[in-house]
Amino acid sequence: MRVRTIALVVTAAAVFAACGGDDETEPKAGSTSTSATAENSPDHDMDHDMDHDMDHDMDRGEHEGAGTGVAKPLPVLADGTLDPAGIDLSGVDGVTPEQQAYAEDLLVSSITTLPTWADYDTAIADGFESIGDQLTGEEHVIKWNSIDDDVWLDPTQPESLVYRYETQPDGSAVRTLEAAMFLLPKSFDLDNAPDDAGALMQYHIHDDLCFTAPPAPKVRGLTNAEGVCAPPLEKFQPWIMVHVWIRPNECGPFAALKGIGGGQVKEGEAVACLHEHGEIGL
């Protein structure tokens, strides 16, 4: 696949946030804990706000900005991953053959390469660090020192991985690799995001999440109405990012997550949901 590179001066990254699929930015108010300590803790606020927003978005149903083309369900293998031999991303209005080919190339390469980190412990040993967002049902691990390098959209060097997080009756956790989350260097923003995949890919940012300080930042809350994090929490650097899902996603293989983790898209755009490639094809 094609990997775009540039020379950059690497600067220290402050903090980062979980990724998802809604463009709401205002934190939800209210706490139901009877403990004053719990009510004022960043962990409690995040749990309440994220659960509230995710429930709200699930109730709303589909994303806005759904595609209008012909359905092209992506085939799925017996292990639950997309079948790289049957990837066809045609059927989305306004996408050129070159953009379709680029998106297909990236998706196929991701499907075949990302299972290198199917085992969560392998990812941690390779330098990825959890941001502590398991309560959402999706856990992001990030390799912080790779974000502002000169390689991006490369499945052999993903900046972040996404695992479905499920708690078993015995209290143990099962993590299933679902996607890469590619973060681009600070030289990119929503106004100059790469257009190689056209309407098949929509970038987003996170400018409302608050993290603990490095070297192992954890997401612990939301910014206030003024867009500020309560110290000692720090605001996340708004790198632009995009998911590539190797398992079926109702809004297609490049969709953002639902709920508070969704981040914000370019002003004037609706959050994309490409149902053309979101159905499970068996």
Task: Output the pLDDT for position 17.
Answer: 35
Give the separation between CA 133 and CA 184, rounded to whole angstroms.
21
Q: Is residue 129 part of a domain?
A: yes
Count of domains observed in the chain = 1
CB-count burial class (<10 Å; 0-12, 13-18, 19+) for 274: buried
Give the C-alpha separation, 148 to 50, whole Å. 28
| pLDDT score for 262 | 82
Contact 99, 197 (CB under 8 A): yes
Task: With respect to residue 80, please indicate whether it lies within any of the assigned structural domains.
Answer: yes
Give the separation between CA 73 and CA 80, rounded to whole angstroms: 14
Q: Can you give the pLDDT of all 282 residues of the chain as single tens digits?
A: 444 433 222 222 333 333 433 333 333 333 333 233 333 344 444 444 444 443 433 333 344 554 555 667 899 999 999 999 999 999 898 999 999 999 999 999 999 999 999 999 999 999 999 999 999 899 999 999 999 999 999 999 999 999 999 999 999 999 999 999 999 999 999 999 999 999 999 999 999 999 999 988 999 999 999 999 999 999 999 999 999 999 999 999 999 987 667 889 999 999 999 888 985 544
Range of the structural domain that residue 217 is part of: 36-281
Residue-level pLDDT at 67: 54
CA distance 192 to 109: 24
Beta bridge partners of 280: 74
User: Is 207 inside any structural domain?
Assistant: yes
Question: Is the peptide bond preceding residue 215 cis, with omega within 30 degrees of 0?
Answer: yes
- How far is it, in rounded angstroms, from Cα 13 to Cα 202? 23
Q: How many CB atoms lie within 10 A of CB 134?
A: 17
What's the pLDDT at 94?
92
pLDDT at 32: 31
Q: How far is CA 99 from the centre of its chain?
A: 21
16: in domain = no
**Under DSSP, is residue 7 helix (H, G, I), strand (E, B) or coil?**
coil
Residues 6+ away with beta carbon under 8 Å from 190: 203, 204, 205, 240, 265, 266, 267
Task: Please check whether residue 5 lies inside any domain of the structure.
Answer: no
Q: Is residue 25 part of a domain?
A: no
Q: What's the pLDDT score for residue 257? A: 86
pTM value surpassing 0.85? no
In this structure, is residue 87 part of a structural domain? yes
Q: How far apart are CA 23 and CA 40, in angstroms?
A: 26
The answer as to whether 97 is a domain residue is: yes
CA 12 to CA 148: how far, in whole Å?
A: 9
